[in-house]
Structure 1
């Protein structure tokens, strides 16, 4: 340590450096959190659970046609 620099000056520089590092880390964490929250708010709100199930009653002819289609696709 040079003779013209007092102990209080060295401690002051160390404290200011530490405060600057703490400030930089805090600002970085706050900015990341804000960026993630902004990205998540861009998506539409999700519903809870699956959509309601739809059911359509098929006629006898439609059931036969569907069964024939399944048989044809099953042979491939």
Structure 2
């Protein structure tokens, strides 16, 4: 170790080198992920045991409103549009 260099300067250089390596690794992963034709998520065989998520179908979850409920909803919309 050179005599004219303090321990803090050596630690600073080491820390900067470590951060530079981490930044390069992170940047390469990001660039690899946005590359055209790349899979958005790595496929993990352990996750293949999970069942696929079903997509919500709006007409199965819709509820018919009674005329009184429709009137109440229309009144609420009018109140909100008036700013009260």
TM-score under structure 1 normalisation? 0.48
TM-score under structure 2 normalisation? 0.44
Greater relative contact order: 1 or 2 (C-alpha under 8 angstroms, separation 6 or more)?
2
* Structure with larger Rg: 1
